[in-house]
Chain A
Amino acid sequence: MAVENNRHAQHKIYSLFAPKMLSVCRQYLKDVHLAEDVMITAFMKVFTNLKTFEHKGSFEGWIRRIMVNECISHIRVQKPVKFTEDESYFEERFNDIESQLSVDDIQFLIDKLPDGYRMVFNLYAVEGYKHHEIGKMLGISEGTSKSQLSHARKMLQEQINKLKNYQNGTE
């Protein structure tokens, strides 16, 4: 590919996708500086593996997958994530109300989740992966993935309720 070893072209790609990709990394990592470090490492992989891009999907989607994988491997290397092997899950649903939450509020709520819940929630709710795909990515069973998601939803619901009560002045 012409982009390989062409620093000008690489800079163009970086400038185009870096702000979006830093946001993706921030979803998984609580610290923005750490998220930036991981994003740089992921961009390195993007530029060194450009040959492997098969033009099957969108280029942005390919870069995004690299970012997500890099974030997950970083979290798992830094601290082994414990996924409780709980195959039972419950239908925890959010109250179907129109959210008044800002993106910073959402990020605040996601940051409150434990690493395992956060990863599964992001992969399922934001990235749109299926449970069997998440299971493969994280090395867990499909049931465990579902269980982690229901726990994450429950925890988020509680946090949203608390936030609403706080905003309404009832708490």
Chain B
Amino acid sequence: MEPNKLEEDFRDKLNSRTIQPSEMAWDRLDAMLSVSEKKKPKRSNKWLSMAAVFVGMLFVGTLLMEQQKQDQKIKETIKMAPVQDSITTETITEPRVIETVLSEPTKNGRKEIVTVVKTATKVESGTIIEQQTVITPETQIVEATSPKEIKKVATMVDAVSLLASVDKNAPTKSTIKKGNVKVDANSLLSTVEGEITTDYREGVFQTINRNFKTVKSAVANRNTE
């Protein structure tokens, strides 16, 4: 299978042949070379877009970390919730001092009997807060020992004066009320989780969208140039 004379003749004749390209050929090559030379510095753009993507990834990562931290906080608060409940029950079981005092004279000139419930509540810090709950006849809750006394108590009591007699301990009253509120830990958690997931999703989608647009514009610019 070695080349013979005829093949050598083919080779000699073909190798000595020249075909002059068209005049436009060099112009086309020149244009192509110019385009490729312009494209070369664009490499920095490529790096820029890659950096943008990287920054985007970092941002998403940070968001995720924040999300995890929030989740942990929520879990901790949920764990704390039952402890609060026990405190409330403790306060309820604590001894109360019930005092029956005569109120200030009303418009009618009559003095009225008011039952004051003093409750000593132990707070976590160890300080004892004394609370006074004034039970007016209007609420019809009166502590009494005998039916005769009840008749006496069931007289008219001015609400305004009673309120005035309630001293600075009013804020602690609200804490008692708060303590009585029952919190369903599961429902609270599911609500909070739902809200956070939505926010998180929106954040991620916005980030991805922004990065995608950046990359898209970078690629489009590169292609047009």
Contact = CB atoms under 8 A, between A and B. Distances in A.
A18 B36 contact: no
Contacts of B5: 94, 96-99
A10 B28 CA distance: 13
A102 B9 CA distance: 10
Given A18-B25, A96-B6, A106-B10, A44 B18 contact: no
A103 B17 contact: yes
A73 interface: no
Interface residues of B, number: 28
A158 to B, nearest CB: 13
Interface SS majority for chain B: helix
B6 A26 contact: no
Interface SS majority for chain A: helix
B14 A27 contact: yes
A38 to B, nearest CB: 11
B6 A40 contact: no
Interface string A8-26: 0011001100111011001
Interface size class of A (residues with CB under 8 A): 35 or more
B1 A125 contact: no
B33 interface: yes
Contact of B36 (A32, A48, A98, A124): A48
Contacts of A149: 1
B26 A11 contact: yes
Nearest to B26: A14
Interface in A1-52: 5, 7, 10-11, 14-15, 18-20, 22-23, 26-27, 32, 35-36, 39-40, 43-44, 47-48
Given A23-B19, A126-B15, A5 B37 contact: yes
A22 B19 contact: yes
B106 to A, nearest CB: 106
Nearest to A94: B6
A126 B10 contact: yes
A89 B25 CA distance: 42
B225 interface: no
Contacts of B4: 93-94, 96
A23 B14 contact: yes
B7 A94 contact: yes
B32 to A, nearest CB: 5
Closest 9 CB pairs of A and B: A19-B18, A94-B6, A125-B7, A22-B19, A99-B9, A103-B13, A23-B17, A23-B19, A40-B29
11 contacts: A11-B26, A14-B26, A19-B18, A19-B21, A43-B29, A44-B36, A47-B33, A91-B1, A93-B4, A103-B16, A106-B13
Given A26-B19, A40-B25, A94-B4, 11 more contacts: A23-B14, A27-B14, A32-B19, A36-B21, A36-B22, A36-B25, A40-B28, A43-B29, A97-B6, A126-B10, A126-B11
